[in-house]
Structure 1
Amino acid sequence: MDWKVLQGFLSGVNKYSTAFGRIWLSVVFVFRVLIFVVAAERVWSDEQGHFDCNTRQPGCTNICYNHFFPISHIRLWALQLVFITCPSFMVVLHVAYREERERKYRAKHGDNTRLYNNPGQKHGGLWWTYLMSLFIKTGFEITFLYLLHYIYDSFKLPRKVQCDVSPCPNLVDCYVSRPTEKTVFSYFMVGASVLCVVLNICEIFYMIATRVVNRKQHGSIRTASRKVRPEVDCDACKSSHAE
């Protein structure tokens, strides 16, 4: 998987993100993508080749490995990284759509006219798109954490597993290679995922709180302007009566 392409796409999202969104991107790149590429892939590179069982029955080792590891941790994390980063492209596509509308509007009405003050400003439909992307990312994070715990029944890798699946002749003991090292990386990746969930939730509350505050400010300004207008009209009436 070419992670440089993914990094190039997400770097465009950074300029449209809030402070929490920028922290989220930093956590994803430093504590997840970088660790995944540099260390995690190498730790799990020998997982099937060094999965030993105390039997020479043909096919038993492969069957036991597939039984206890239906999907590799490393492939599940790769899918998780792809799924949690894809919703961010919704924001980039929405901004690109706005910029295209802005270009057509200027071509039709002149270069001095503007349809948007800032196509990347999060208001209107773009605000909802950004908020929706946060909910989707949070949902994917929680779903993959649940799948990881559900498939392996724990985030800790055991040193020994017992298997009696056919064609194994009887109850067979199988041994996982480097279980302590893999357990450390598992907890690290799970911790980084939980941190991303917390950041997404904080950003959701920040977006909603900012929207509510802005609405109240605009409402107070409109109310004040409405109170000023009748006084001006009354003064005009008094002057007209005086004349």
Structure 2
Amino acid sequence: MDWKTFQALLSGVNKYSTAFGRIWLSVVFVFRVMVYVVAAERVWGDEQKDFDCNTKQPGCANVCYDHFFPISHIRLWALQLIFVTCPSFMVVMHVAYRDDRERKYRAKHGEDAKLYNNTGKKHGGLWWTYLISLFVKTGIEVAFLYILHRVYDSFYLPRLVKCGESPCPNLVDCYIGHPTEKKVFTYFMVGASALCIVLNICEIIYLISKRVVRIANKLKRRGRNIQNDDYNNDPFNNLQPLTRLEMKERPSSLKSTYKPTIRVPSVRIERIRASAPDLSMAT
């Protein structure tokens, strides 16, 4: 399997991912793909050749190996890595579809015309595609962990297994090659898969919460705009005092209608004359 080509394809998903998505890709490459290529393949190697039974009965070792190892760990992990990364290509194909629509739209309406502000921005259908890919990846991870747990009984690899399958003459003892080393790598790959599940769940929560906050802010802004429009359309809120020039330009009939009805009572002022007393009469 050409893991370099596989890594080059997945690197294109990195620029469309969130922070959790970038961490997920790093975990997949460093803790799963690299460990698989560098160490895990060499540890397992030709595992059937290292499976020894204390009998020379032809076919007994093969039947016992198939009974205890119906599918190899290394092949199961290879399938898991392929299936778990396939949903990420859904995002890349959706962005490519947007780029093609943008190219056709510009060819039809001119170079300055735009159908999308940013074809790689997670809005509209691309947001749903990205969210569905996260759910699919999480489901695949859980499914492969269940298969591994179901087949190998809690991810445990014993040193000795007892086999009584036909054509074995009786209950024979079979020994697994490098059991401790295989057990360590099994637990490590299971832990890395569990970490990827946690990162996918965190990314799902992050995307949904961010979308909810954006919708709530949009509804708040819409409510404020409606209130402002209602205030501006109210005729009583738009009354403005008339200037003197506008009052002069009004017809006399209209001026009379705006005359105040309250009349100020006139005050009659009488002058009081003070006369000097007649002093001649007093003498």
Give the TM-score normalised by the residue count of structure 2: 0.83
Q: In structure 2, what residue type is equivalent to 1:52?
A: D
The one-letter code of the counterpart of 1:103 is R
Q: Distance in 2 between matches of 1:91 and 1:209?
A: 20
2:108 aligned with 1:103: no
Higher relative helix content: 1
Alpha-carbon deviation of 1:232?
2.4
Cα distance in 1, alignment partners of residues 222 and 109 from structure 2? 30
Q: What are the within-5 Å matches in structure 2 for residues 29-48 of structure 1? A: 29-48=29-48
Report the CA distance between 1:231 and its aligned residue: 2.4
Q: Which has the larger radius of gyration?
A: 2
Amino acid at match of 1:94: H
Would you say 1:169 and 2:166 are equivalent positions? Answer: no
Equivalent-residue separation in structure 2 for 1:59 and 1:132 (angstroms): 47
Alignment of 1:1-243 (within 5 A): 1-234=1-234, 238-239=238-239
Letter of the structure 1 residue corresponding to residue 152 of structure 2? Y
Q: Distance between the aligned counterparts of 1:67 and 1:232, measured in 2? A: 81
Q: Deviation above 6 Å: which 4+ runs of structure 1?
A: none
Higher relative contact order (CA 8 A, sep 6+): 1
| CA distance in 1: counterparts of 2:81 and 2:200, whole angstroms | 15
Show CA shifts across 1:56-82 (max 9, x none): 001111111011000000000000000
Any conservation in 1 of the 2:13–2:91 contact (CA below 8 Å)?
yes
Segments of 5+ residues of structure 2 without an aligned counterpart are 247-283
Contact 2:27–2:192, Cα closer than 8 Å, also in 1: yes
Aligned CA distance change for structure 1 residues 178 and 238 (closer, same or farther; 3 Å)? closer
**For residues 85-118 of structure 1, what are the alpha-carbon distances to aligned partners after superposition, in whole Å with 9 as ceiling and x for unaligned?**
0000000000000010000000000111100000
Query: Partners of 1:212 and 1:145 in 2: how far apart?
Result: 32
User: Deviation per CA, 1:136-177, whole angstroms, max 9, x where unpaired?
Assistant: 000000000000010111212110001111111000100000
Identity percentage of aligned residues: 68
What residue identity is the alignment partner of 2:36?
A: F
Partner SS state of residue 86, structure 1: helix
Cα RMSD of the aligned pairs, angstroms, is 1.5
- Partner SS, residue 84 of structure 1: helix
Q: Is the 8 A contact 2:231 2:237 kept in 1?
A: no
Residue 237 (structure 1) shift:
7.4
Instruction: Find the residue that maps to 2:173 and give its secondary structure.
Output: strand
Task: Give secondary structure in 2 for the equivalent of 1:220.
Answer: helix
TM-score by length of 1: 0.97
* Alignment size in residue pairs: 243
Q: Distance in 1 between matches of 2:121 and 2:14?
A: 13
Deviation of the 1:6 alpha carbon: 1.1
SS at match of 2:174: strand
